[in-house]
Amino acid sequence: MKRSILIILAVLVADQALKFWVKTEFFLGESIPLFGQGQDWAYLQFVENKGMAFGLEFGGEAGKMALTIFRMVALVGIGYLLWKAVQEKRSTALTVSLSLVFAGALGNIIDSACYGIIFDASTPFQKAVLFPPDGGYAPFLHGAVVDMFYFPVLHGHFPQWLPIWGGEEYEFFRPVFNIADAAISVGIVMVILVQRHEDKRSSKEQAPVPPEAGTGSV
């Protein structure tokens, strides 16, 4: 359990520290090269996400409330699975992966639940202030998630002969994300890989053992 707590705390501290810094030091939409000038494939770019992970929107203010509540319910479920995995002494890989998912989900919930209360609005012309005297920019559960990692590694145009998308611009990777999103994604991939590994091992253990060939006498 100590390992899981340390992972959760490490992800949360890193996630929230970076979000606080970006929120208070960047104008909305501002970006800087992550690895110096001339490196146009990686940026820190301040955007605010009112919907799901990786900048996806979801149903306006009512959808925002529903999504935040869903995140909280899911967090309880993930926490239970993590607790159960620890109690049953499941593999380290499984507890680490569930810890990452839990930490990432909690990191984004903190934004949604609290940032609207403790920060004023960020704009392209004004940086946010922590604990503004006139109050925050949104009520409880209606805050926006702070995203900042932007990796447009590949960009160009689809060939003209391609059906539907011919000539249109493409970019990979377009969504902007944060440490919490990354922790969730890595954790989910790890859970899938661990589950597949355990399923294969279980199948091998349950496979019938062929009888040994008998020895005949002449």
| Axis-axis angle for helices 179-206, 92-110 (nearest 10) | 150
Higher pLDDT, 47 or 158: 47
Mean predicted lDDT score pLDDT of the chain: 85
181 belongs to the catalytic site: yes
Catalytic residue among 15, 111, 120, 147: 147
* DSSP annotation string for 126-187: B---BS-TT--SS-TT-PPEEEEEE---EEEE--TTSTTTTT-EEEET---B-HHHHHHHHH
Task: Please give the Cα distance from 111 to 177 (Å, whole number).
Answer: 13
Catalytic residue among 15, 134, 181, 199: 181
Average pLDDT over residues 117-121: 95
Residue type, 80: Y
With tokens 């954790």, the residue in question is 187
Q: What digits encode the pLDDT tens for the residues 5-34? A: 999 999 999 999 999 999 999 999 999 998
The confidence score (pLDDT) of residue 141 equals 86
What's the pLDDT band for 218 if we cut at 50, 70, 90? very low
Q: Is the pLDDT of residue 208 over 70?
A: no
111 belongs to the catalytic site: no
Average pLDDT over residues 112-133: 94
Contacts of 29 (CB under 8 A, 6+ apart): 45, 46, 47, 124
The confidence score (pLDDT) of residue 37 equals 79
The confidence score (pLDDT) of residue 63 equals 65
The confidence score (pLDDT) of residue 9 equals 97
